[in-house]
A = this chain, B = another copy of it.
Amino acid sequence: MRSVSVIGIGETKMGKLADFWLRDMIKEAGEKAISDANIDRNQIEALYMGNFASQYLCLQGHMGPLASEVLNLGNIPTVRTEGACASGGLAFRQAYIAVAAGLYDIVLVGGAEKMTHQPTEVVTTGVAGAADYNLEVSIGATFPSIFAMLAQRYFYEYGDVREQMAMCAVQNHDNAMLNPDAQMQKRITVDQVKAGFPVAYPLTVYDCSLVTDGSAFVVLAATDVAEKLSKKRIVEIVGSGHAGDTLTIATKKSLTTLYATVHAAKQAYQMSGLKPSDIDLAEVHDCFTITQILNIEDLGFFEKGKGGRAVMEGKTAASGQIPINVSGGLKAKGHPIGATGLSQIYEIVTQLRGEAGARQLKKANIGLTHNLGGTAATCVVNIFRGR
């Protein structure tokens, strides 16, 4: 399989985009990515679209041809991928495989989700489809309740990290202050998080990611093609991994080590020949604050049980040894579900190109993305290096 690189990126602002329907978001983010790649749209050979909940929230399936029509891509093949909150990461993974295989030279990958037009209870029901309806949702489990159980088990096995979870939210909000695309732009404190409206113990509303409208796109090209086309720094995919786990929480081997992450990360590290300490920055899937702590441990940045302490010591802050979610993450940039995996890549490429403006990190040559679906039942990890 041959080398593949990212040559174009685009995203909408994240948030409550009242005047933007799916078509409008896709058009804005898709056109930005095509323009950024410095290609003609006729050069695009296939389209991969991540979307999770639009069949329920918008009565709209078949997102591939919808996006192809909006972006005027003709008769190219399209596919929508769905793996809950990892739907965008899966679109990227399938596109990567097809280009690496030599089937296509240039492909477009996008994600979009429209969520804020629905009442909270409808969003909650739609999102709960990422768990098992019969065995979990129908008996009252929702995602906050499931991740609250993971947090409680973590407390039991490794000690209470309530304060450290809150600090994840604080740092992500701090980071989002410098990201113009972020949904949240206000600082919060650890005390505010802990005293927030209770959702499912120990999670308060400040421990939960956001309900977001948004879209993000990237253009992939075979690296040899990219070198001829691109006028910007080429960002090569040097590692890619994809793993899964059972759907239900009752059947997991562990509630505090998420094996889908462990396996996907192992693949990506092996392929790249890199180790966790080689990574300059990472965007990880902080659907809840406890997940961010689990993620930075499962990705090998910190030992199991030590992630919370690392957060408190500032090691994951923008100025720390391994900046996590400098975009603001799902918690503060926002979580437009099917677009999230692509928006993570948008941030890494922006940083690796040195185009991140006020939030630009000094050292940004190797970046990692981690996109998780459901109760860690789907995980895609990618490692990128600027050439």
Contact = CB atoms under 8 A, between A and B. Distances in A.
A93 B81 CA distance: 13
B77 A244 contact: yes
Interface string A57-81: 0111111111011000001111111
A62 B101 contact: no
Given A83-B79, A259-B75, A69 B246 contact: yes
Most buried by B among A59, A129, A244, A263: A244
A63 to B, nearest CB: 8
Contact of A129 (B59, B68, B103): B59
Nearest to A79: B90
Contacts of A246: 65, 68-69
Interface stretch (A174-182, A227-235, A371-379): A371-379
A80 B79 contact: no
A125 interface: yes
Q: How many copies does the complex hold?
A: 2
Q: How large is the interface on A (under 10, 10 to 19, 20 to 34, 35 or more residues)?
A: 35 or more
Interface in A332-359: none
A318 interface: no
Contacts of A243: 75-77
A373 B62 contact: yes
A93 B242 CA distance: 18
A131 B62 contact: yes
Interface in A63-115: 63-66, 68-69, 75-84, 90, 93-94, 97-98, 100-103
Interface string A105-140: 000000000000000000001101111111001000
B84 A137 contact: no
Most buried by B among A246, A251, A374: A246
A162 to B, nearest CB: 29
A153 to B, nearest CB: 19
A147 to B, nearest CB: 15
A245 interface: yes
Contacts of A132: 60, 66
A248 interface: yes
B58 A133 contact: yes
A260 B378 contact: no
Given A60-B129, A244-B75, A245-B75, A65 B134 contact: no
Nearest to A253: B75
Q: Sort A-B residue pairs by CB-CB distance and give the 4 closest, nearest first.
A: A101-B101, A65-B377, A61-B129, A77-B242
22 contacts: A1-B101, A53-B61, A61-B82, A61-B130, A62-B83, A62-B84, A62-B130, A65-B83, A65-B244, A68-B245, A68-B246, A75-B260, A77-B378, A78-B244, A78-B378, A79-B378, A80-B82, A97-B97, A98-B101, A100-B101, A101-B101, A101-B102
